[in-house]
């Protein structure tokens, strides 16, 4: 007699409680939920990328070293190709870092922040430890150092500019952490092209620093999944042990190179996004009952006095998708990505209406 099949009895501890990352698709909405580049993809670049899809690029396995792309990234970031590793989005790199260094250890996460650090910690069998940021969302460096000195602390994640709060850590703060800990310090700079200080200057002095970046945000390539990290070659050699050999497909490797060639076209879009961020910020300030937080990235965190779920739903009913945060750390908080003027205006108008409606229902 066999015992009845019970799927949950086969799942290891940690994975049983994990809630999978849910990314719903809502066709036809104004999409301000994922911090993507909202502008039309430059036609010339799109044509060049389209021409790539032929011959060996399709029929042969990709270059597992991504040599040409790594050379292009190195030139762009101001490092050597040996200091670069590419991934299927930086999401894959987060997982690979944790599979290499995190499993059975403690991972310190400066909350509130990007949710994938915790999710991938659980996937990798590591223990995520929240280290709360201060009320202004800056990193509590002394607390972080204190946690880092406890046994089995292996990896620290600092997102800068931080998603979803929009503030950046200073170079001094990052360096202060690096000076005082011997864990791996991962600084996620997915939004660096919009603001915050570049940490590359610290790379040669601190062998425990890992910088993560992506093509998904400023460079408008979220659909092709290209992320990269900059680190000491000794660290990358260890991570290579867990990396899938063909993790980044040939088409994405080639497309990312083209995007870097045309980076001046994207610079112009980034300038426009920064301009729109200021207008969106002003617009939020002008709506009664909204508290918005300063941002150096391409999204803005804000709060109302109503439940975030009600505001989120109200906006969705008007065809506008933003990000709902909530939870014990960010009660009533929401995040909106900076869109084009044609997207930001209807969002602001809809938000004002939804708030008015919610106010009436309270009376």
Ligand X SMILES: *Cc1c(COP(=O)(O)O)cnc(C)c1O
Binding site for ligand X (CB under 6 A): 35, 89-91, 114, 159, 163, 188, 190, 214, 216, 222, 227
Q: 106 or 213: whose CB is closer to ligand X? A: 213
Judged by DSSP in three states, 209 sits in strand
Task: Compare residues 252 and 354 and give the one whose CB is closer to ligand X.
Answer: 252
C-beta of 203 vs 212, nearer to ligand X: 212
What residues are paired with 330 via a beta bridge? Answer: 326
* Secondary structure in 3-state letters for 40-92: CCCHHHHHHHHHHCCCHHHHCCCCCCCHHHHHHHHHHHCCCHHHEEEEEHHHH
Closest distance of CB 4 from ligand X, Å: 39
- 190 SS3 class: coil
Residues 6+ apart with CB under 8 A from 224: 215, 251, 252, 255, 256
The residues, any chain, with a CB within 8 Å of residue 108's CB and separated by 6 or more, are 129, 131, 144, 147, 148, 153, 155, 156, 157, 183
Per DSSP, helices labelled H in the chain are 43-52, 56-59, 67-77, 89-97, 116-123, 141-148, 171-180, 233-239, 250-261, 263-285, 308-317, 341-362
- Least distance between ligand X and beta carbon 116 (Å): 7
Shortest Cβ distance from residue 196 to ligand X (Å)?
Answer: 11
Q: Do 141 and 173 form a contact (C-beta atoms < 8 A)?
A: yes
Pick between residue 298 and residue 308 the one whose CB is nearest to ligand X.
298
To the nearest whole angstrom, how small is the minimum distance from the Cβ of residue 147 to ligand X?
21
Instruction: State which residue has the least CB distance to ligand X.
Output: 89
CB of residue 289 to ligand X, shortest distance in Å: 27
| Residue closer to ligand X, measured from CB, 153 or 160 | 160
d(CA 80, CA 199): 15
Q: Phi first, then psi: give them for residue 330, nearest 5 degrees.
A: -130, 65
Name which of 163 and 269 has its Cβ closer to ligand X.
163
Residue among 98 and 190 whose Cβ is closer to ligand X: 190
Q: How far is the CB of 269 from ligand X (least distance, A)?
A: 17
Considering the complex, what minimum distance in angstroms separates the CB of residue 242 from ligand X? 17
CB of 11 to ligand X, least distance (A): 25
Provide the 10 A C-beta neighbour count for residue 312. 20
Q: Which is nearer to ligand X, 165 or 308 (CB)?
A: 165
Instruction: Report the nearest approach of ligand X to the CB of residue 264 (Å).
Output: 22
Comparing CB distances to ligand X, the nearer of 239 and 350 is 239
Cα distance between residue 286 and residue 97, in whole Å: 43
């Amino acid at each position: 007699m066999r015992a009845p099949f019970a799927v949950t009895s086969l799942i290891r501890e940690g994975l049983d409680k994990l809630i999978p990352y849910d990314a719903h698709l809502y066709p036809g909405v104004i999409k301000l939920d994922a911090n993507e580049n909202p502008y039309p993809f430059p036609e010339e670049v799109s044509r060049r990328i389209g021409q790539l899809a032929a011959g060996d690029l399709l029929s042969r396995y990709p270059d597992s070293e991504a040599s040409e792309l790594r050379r292009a990234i190195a030139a762009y970031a101001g490092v050597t190709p040996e200091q670069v590793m590419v991934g299927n989005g930086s999401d894959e790199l987060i997982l690979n870092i944790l599979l290499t260094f995190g499993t059975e250890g403690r991972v310190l996460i400066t909350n509130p922040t990007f949710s994938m650090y915790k999710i991938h910690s659980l996937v990798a069998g590591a223990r995520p430890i929240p280290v709360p940021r201060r009320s202004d969302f800056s990193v509590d460096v002394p607390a972080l150092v204190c946690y880092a000195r406890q046994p089995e602390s292996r990896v620290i994640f600092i997102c800068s500019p931080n998603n979803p709060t929009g503030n950046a850590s200073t170079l001094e703060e990052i360096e202060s952490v690096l000076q005082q800990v011997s864990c791996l310090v991962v600084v996620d700079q997915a939004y660096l092209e919009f603001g915050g200080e570049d940490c590359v200057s610290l790379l040669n002095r601190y062998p425990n620093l890992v910088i993560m970046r992506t093509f998904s945000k400023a460079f408008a390539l979220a659909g092709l999944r290209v992320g990269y990290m900059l680190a000491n070659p000794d660290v990358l050699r260890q991570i290579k042990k867990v990396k899938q050999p063909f993790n980044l497909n040939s088409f994405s490797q080639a497309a990312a190179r083209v995007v870097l060639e045309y980076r001046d076209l994207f610079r112009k879009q980034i300038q426009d996004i920064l301009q729109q961020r200021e207008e969106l910020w002003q617009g939020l300030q002008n709506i009664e009952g909204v508290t918005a937080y300063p941002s150096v990235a391409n999204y803005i965190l804000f709060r109302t006095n109503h439940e975030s779920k009600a505001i989120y739903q109200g906006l969705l009913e008007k065809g506008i998708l933003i990000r709902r945060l909530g939870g014990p750390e960010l009660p009533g908080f929401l995040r909106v990505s900076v869109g084009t003027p044609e997207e930001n205006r209807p969002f602001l108008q809809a938000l004002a209406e939804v708030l008015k409606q919610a106010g009436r229902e309270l009376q």
